[in-house]
Structure 1
Amino acid sequence: MNVAMFIAFIAGWMIAWISACCLCISRVSDRYVRLHVFLLAIPVVVSFAGLIGADQVRETGLWHLDRTAWLMASYVGLLGWTIQRFCIRFMHGDRSYRAYFTLLTFTTGSASLIWFSGDLRLLALLWGLPLSGLVGLVLLNKEWTPVRHVARLMSRMFAVSWLSLLLAAVWLWQVTGHWRITQVLSEESLLRPGWGNAAGIGALVVLAAIIPAGQWPFQRWLLESAVIPTPVSAAMHAGLVNAGGMLLARFSPLLDGSLPQWLLVVPAVLSIFVGTGILLVQPDYKRQLVASTLAQMGMMFLQCALGAYVLAVLHLIFHGWFKAALFLRSGSVVPRPRPALLAPDPPSKRWLLYGVLGGIVLGTGFWLAEPHEPLRLLRALLLGWSISVAWWQMAVLQKGRWISMIVLSSLGLSAMAFHDALASMLGDALPAAISTGRTETAVVLLIACGGLAGLGLTARRTTEIRAKLYLWLVHLGEARDEAVESHPRYLRAYMRRGGELK
């Protein structure tokens, strides 16, 4: 059953790719785009059918079929279809209107096939194709100088990531004698590399994963990518940036307990703090979303560092849909003329204290329900902190505060229950989280202390250290001069030439 569904899945993408090529024919009307988006739904439907019917792992040729691969294919395919459906009107009138759909189709198609790879060579090849497609999407607006600068920076970073994974694949073949991923990651093969080889290969895999995610110290290309079109940003932040977590999950037997896995904690924690800080001081909405991605990906890699690969994969899926929705609706934050409203009274400290206590009670209760479950303490911290932040945002309401608190708590617990249901659906496709003991406690205390320190600096606005930290975060979040332009001069050239840039 799995093999037949996979053949149908490949056939669906072949139809979508042929349809995308038809968009390159000048005689084809722009109205064909709607038919193309309709045809793009075929592999999406097939992938969902494969996810439902994926009862066991199958190996066929160079491909490895399991429930996780079908889940990622469904996620990437549906995400690509949603973005292209949005582009029908959003990108209409752009001179690269057809090219966007063509490149988006090939990029999302190759991205959905990555996780079916059962061979190291195929995995290394498919890893680079979506990254190349993303650079191509950026270069569709190459007349703009900042875009060319960002494309060059992305090309260099992605080339390092691609080369790192390729070197890791060749290194694994040399020490194990196998190209098949299941054979490479078997218990017998993992005993051959030795500590030095395993650490070197793991470091290359980690490097290949964190660069496309824009993690510290490779965050510069991500922070400067705000100049690219909104649909491309949505595809990048919701899909390709998240791929690193899944890559680490695939190679988890190699990384489990090794030095690269523990070293992953450092860039992950720094990315969380730096991304959150830039988010708080950056006035530009799109750069706020970019900084949020930096912090969220840091949390995902932190989960990978703690061995919670199931949580990391679910995190990247939920974050992807949430971030895609924010990017596609970013135009709604543009101020519109409206009658002046009276500013609400600032909430009292008592109501803010209620939010803190509510988050503590809910998080503690969630942890005490299953205190011995791996990473339960980290999840409890995130749940309680989310409830507190949401309460602070709603504290300006004059009525219905307690009802809002009850609704928020119910939604938080429902989200955790839904999260656990999806985790159980994945079954044994990904390794289960192991008890991390003191490491988990140390990470929780580190995040909690960082959050409390941020609240303290926010409350004391006149301190010198706050001013220096604020200016440093503003400087860090701003793009370099090459990546910005006070006025898009290429538009003036475009208009002078009658709308035909050559």
Structure 2
Amino acid sequence: MDATSGLLTFMIVFVSTLIIAVISGVIFINKRVPLSYIKIHIGVSALPPLIALIALINIDNSEKLGPFYFDILAWLMAFFVLVIGLIIQRFSMQYLKGDFNYRKYFVLFQLVTSFAAIAWLSDDLRLMTAFWGLTLICLSLLMRLNRKWKVTKAAAKVTSRYFLLSWIALACSVLWLFVITGEWTFSAALTEAHLSMVTGWQYFGLSLLLIIAVIVPAAQWPFQRWLIESVAAPTPVSAIMHAGIVNAGGIMLTRFSPLFHSDFAAFILIIIACISVLIGSGISLVHVDYKRQLVGSTMGQMGFMLIQCALGAYVAAIIHLILHGLFKATLFLRSGSALQHFEVPVRANERMSYFWIISGRILAGVLAIVFWLAEPGEGYRIISALILAWSLSMAWTQLVAFGEGKMGRIIGLIALVIVGVVYFVIHHYFNAWLQNIAISNSHPSLFIIILVAVILVLGSIISTWVAKHQSSKVFAIIYLWLVRLGDAKTKAIERHPNYLKKFLS
């Protein structure tokens, strides 16, 4: 009884602070309120994530309370999206100053994160679907806030259509699940007793709808167009999209994991995700615009996250989306100071550099084998080992092999060791912390594991070959195709901000 009353208190306080933060944003819209009020609003907006953090620290097990379901994952996601929103609002205090819609941005930022937090705390499928839809609507409104700029209006129009498709797919899957089980809640509909009512083809159909609902906001092929065109939006809007919204696929698939049993559905998701990884990596390499590079990076990272979900590694996917969200938000918020250098450094001894590159690849391969042999029974461990070997090899090449002199290589090696230790410590504690969340314990078939491994290895081999034959016709075709694929449509591109020119005249 005490635990229930304590949870009820947390919930009341949390919802109350969310409502107060939204009201604070609405008050700021009034032009009679001085601009200095924004500092008070930021202080008020810090209360909901603080309450979510306290609840996250004090939670011991899963509890259902009314239409809400409280476990570590629910509070963690609520805390994560609210903290991201708070950081972006704090950044926007100065960045967006002078914008005609300066006041409106903050209430929409607050609504986006508040609706998303409630969606992930919901046990009721209808409530979750409704609040996720409100999140997408507010995000579209953020993009089209500047109605005098035709570029953002065109981008918002495309985005709204894609989001509507995603939401309809989610709503259809929820309605279909209710028709089969007669339940509207996660905790009841996804129990073994109710899942026994779901037949094989229904599993596939539900999984297919969930895939559509997930890959659209995650900007996966062939639905990446909305994210490519959204680069015209202000940087804080891009930050909240890349850090908090595109990650939603990992949370959604984790919550619906008991339904995701079809090997054929997993096969479809893996093919889409692998294609997205390759396309996203290519876009980030061929485009010189910094925000487009980040778009390509997000496509690739979300592809890896969905591969993790398809292989049943839901905890790894949650860790991935949190770290990616924090990292990508940082990159966007510092994009104004980013400076790219394209000069190729001159190597005094090419043989020595080649020796260090080969050494790094051997070391990466050995560590990957050791990592896999630690738990060879887990299928996902093979894929993790391949990704680890590739990442370590690339990092070694950049930080150690191409280091300037002995001191440069030593510093690069130290940085690599520190990053590796920090990652494994964070991964270990997160993994231990999230083990108690309710997820499916199904393991992918050997065919699915081999398929992912083959695609990733072939993609790496092909990209390496293409990079070494830059004078070939194949390279030119692939390069131009990726450039075109990463470019927005004509309506979403403007060489000069004409709306500002008209305003000044």
TM-score normalised by length of structure 2: 0.93
Residues 203 and 262, structure 2, Cα contact 8 Å, conserved in 1: no
Unpaired runs of at least 5, structure 2: 1-5
Measured on the aligned residues, the alpha-carbon RMSD in Å equals 1.9
Residue 342 to residue 198, structure 1, CA distance change in 2 (3 Å): closer
Match of 1:499 in 2: none
For the pair 1:146 / 2:155, whether they are aligned, the reply is no
Deviates more, 1:406-415 or 1:279-288: 406-415
Give the counterpart letter for 1:43 in structure 2.
P
- 2:240 alignment partner, one of 218, 222, 235: 235
Match of 1:305 in 2: 310
Match of 2:283 in 1: 278
- 2:347 alignment partner, one of 338, 345, 348: 345
Give the counterpart letter for 2:370 in structure 1.
G
1:349 shift after superposition: 2.1
Residues 107 and 133, structure 1, Cα contact 8 Å, conserved in 2: yes
Residues 374 and 434, structure 1, Cα contact 8 Å, conserved in 2: no
- 1:483 alignment partner, one of 484, 488, 492: 492
Residues 181 and 194, structure 2, Cα contact 8 Å, conserved in 1: yes
TM-score normalised by length of structure 1: 0.94
Unpaired runs of at least 5, structure 1: 497-502
Distance (whole Å) between structure 1 residues aligned to residue 203 and residue 344 of structure 2: 62
Once the two structures are superposed, the pairs formed by residues 12-31 of structure 1 within 5 Å of their partners are 12-31=17-36
Distance (whole Å) between structure 2 residues aligned to residue 407 and residue 282 of structure 1: 28
For the pair 1:471 / 2:476, whether they are aligned, the reply is no
Work out the percentage of aligned pairs sharing the same amino acid: 40
Give the count of matched residue pairs.
492
Distance (whole Å) between structure 1 residues aligned to residue 258 and residue 340 of structure 2: 50
Give the counterpart letter for 2:482 in structure 1.
L
Give the counterpart letter for 2:311 in structure 1.
L
Runs of 4+ in 1 over 4 A off after TM superposition: 341-344, 432-435
- 1:213 alignment partner, one of 214, 218, 238: 218
For the pair 1:204 / 2:203, whether they are aligned, the reply is no
For the pair 1:224 / 2:224, whether they are aligned, the reply is no
Distance (whole Å) between structure 2 residues aligned to residue 433 and residue 450 of structure 1: 29
Give the counterpart letter for 1:412 in structure 2.
G
Match of 1:119 in 2: 124
Residues 246 and 313, structure 1, Cα contact 8 Å, conserved in 2: yes
Tell me the SS of whatever aligns to 1:441: helix
Distance (whole Å) between structure 1 residues aligned to residue 165 and residue 340 of structure 2: 41
Give the counterpart letter for 2:404 in structure 1.
L
Tell me the SS of whatever aligns to 1:375: helix
1:360 shift after superposition: 1.6
1:61 shift after superposition: 1.2
For the pair 1:53 / 2:58, whether they are aligned, the reply is yes
Q: Deviations over 1:293-344 (max 9, x none)?
A: 01110011111111111111111111000000000000111579xxxx9954
1:345 shift after superposition: 2.9
Q: Deviations over 1:384-423 (max 9, x none)?
A: 2212111222214223314523541453244123212101
Distance (whole Å) between structure 1 residues aligned to residue 39 and residue 384 of structure 2: 42
Give the counterpart letter for 2:435 in structure 1.
G
For the pair 1:129 / 2:123, whether they are aligned, the reply is no
- 1:253 alignment partner, one of 243, 258, 274: 258
Residue 432 to residue 365, structure 1, CA distance change in 2 (3 Å): farther
For the pair 1:431 / 2:439, whether they are aligned, the reply is yes
Distance (whole Å) between structure 1 residues aligned to residue 365 and residue 418 of structure 2: 15
Match of 1:191 in 2: 196
Give the counterpart letter for 1:286 in structure 2.
K
For the pair 1:416 / 2:411, whether they are aligned, the reply is no
For the pair 1:292 / 2:300, whether they are aligned, the reply is no
Distance (whole Å) between structure 2 residues aligned to residue 148 and residue 410 of structure 1: 45
Give the counterpart letter for 1:13 in structure 2.
L
Q: Deviations over 1:87-145 (max 9, x none)?
A: 11111111111111111011111111111111111111011011111111111122111
1:27 shift after superposition: 0.9
Residue 443 to residue 311, structure 1, CA distance change in 2 (3 Å): same
Residues 344 and 396, structure 1, Cα contact 8 Å, conserved in 2: no
Distance (whole Å) between structure 1 residues aligned to residue 462 and residue 357 of structure 2: 17
Distance (whole Å) between structure 2 residues aligned to residue 166 and residue 197 of structure 1: 16
Distance (whole Å) between structure 2 residues aligned to residue 319 and residue 290 of structure 1: 13
Distance (whole Å) between structure 2 residues aligned to residue 160 and residue 71 of structure 1: 28
Match of 2:3 in 1: none
- 2:405 alignment partner, one of 398, 401, 426: 398
1:372 shift after superposition: 2.6
Distance (whole Å) between structure 2 residues aligned to residue 127 and residue 57 of structure 1: 22
- 1:157 alignment partner, one of 157, 162, 173: 162
Residue 429 to residue 343, structure 1, CA distance change in 2 (3 Å): closer
Give the counterpart letter for 1:154 in structure 2.
T
Distance (whole Å) between structure 2 residues aligned to residue 19 and residue 290 of structure 1: 32
Distance (whole Å) between structure 1 residues aligned to residue 367 and residue 252 of structure 2: 33
